[in-house]
Structure 1
Amino acid sequence: MDDEEEEIPVPINNDLERRIAEAFEVFDHAGNKTIDVREIATIIRGIGCCPSEAEIQEIIVAIENPEKPGSVHLSKFLPHVSQIISEHNPEQLLEAFRTLDSEGHGYLTKEHISTLMTQDGEPFTQDELDEMLEIAIDPHTQTVPYEYYINQLMHEPVGEENNIYALADRIEAEKPPPPPPPKRMSEYLREAENLM
């Protein structure tokens, strides 16, 4: 049976699927494209998502191997998790963050988001919150600039820039200096007088 599972083709179609598959492979200790269902929450949170325990249970029910209870094959995990993440498109996430950011700062404080995630709705455990904040917090400002966070969820930085904040810092540093301010007419007249 393991040999048959190993032969199931699992096409990787985009960057999101590649990230999911790479996270999955970390927990595929036998190298047979199968993991223990107890690793699902860790994998999903490791790619930056923040599902509740109830959502994790729904995922397990949907993708657990009925012939080998307690295990999940990559061929079931990858399309299901990819679809869930894709359904939560960036525009919806951005709108949700903007709703929470009533003053329009473009970020949420660590304290504010911690309170929201642990006290409202279905609360996160401290471990779940810590996993989310590890990815979401800007190391320079100790806030959650949510546009950067959403970009980090949707796109994996490549090369030495191992997170979206390092990429943003590099882009900011590479910006050309601003152009000089436009001259006033009086400055042109003074320059003309000096030439005469």
Structure 2
Amino acid sequence: MAGPTVEFWQTRFESGNVPWDRGSANPQLEQWIAAGMIGPGTTMLVPGCGRGWEVAALAAHGVHATGVDYASGAIDACARLLQSQGLAAELFQADVLDWQPAAPVDAVYEQTCLCALHPDHWRAYADQLRAWIRPGGRLFALFVQAIAEESGQGFVKGPPYHCDIHAMRALFPARDWEWPAPPYPRLASNPAFQELAVVLTRKG
């Protein structure tokens, strides 16, 4: 399998070498919640949930949240965070390329999973997202902009892998997804990269 292995991610969580972890939920998620775009009772998946800050933020707002991660260290950390805050959510240690929820959900929060997968697996992951989300449901995406000199020379560098907007349009085509008009908010949430905030609606 191209890209990082489960052992790679497990070692990161065991050693605490998780530089992408800000120690709180992404501010953009909080903005979407505050704007009423994600309300109580929503069923929502967080693939690549890591230590679970977004899972906890969603659960705290009455969302029926489910966290999925490749590494047991991430799931264990997420479970501890939820317990410490008196919150509940479903958690699964699984490969997102194989895993399926019991039923389609209202929404998915996609921030750290796509950019952690080698681009060879993006098509399969995008198909998974479409299968997970019910018609009319939404994909709350933060597409990582990690442009590197090597990328300009044809190398595939990551993780995080650069989620070029043209590649995203190909992964989530207009025949299957309703795209909002640009420009999209560009978030400087990490010194090493930025993110484009895009909310897609799944067509029937």
TM range (shorter): under 0.3
Q: When you count helix as a share of all residues, which structure comes out higher? A: 1
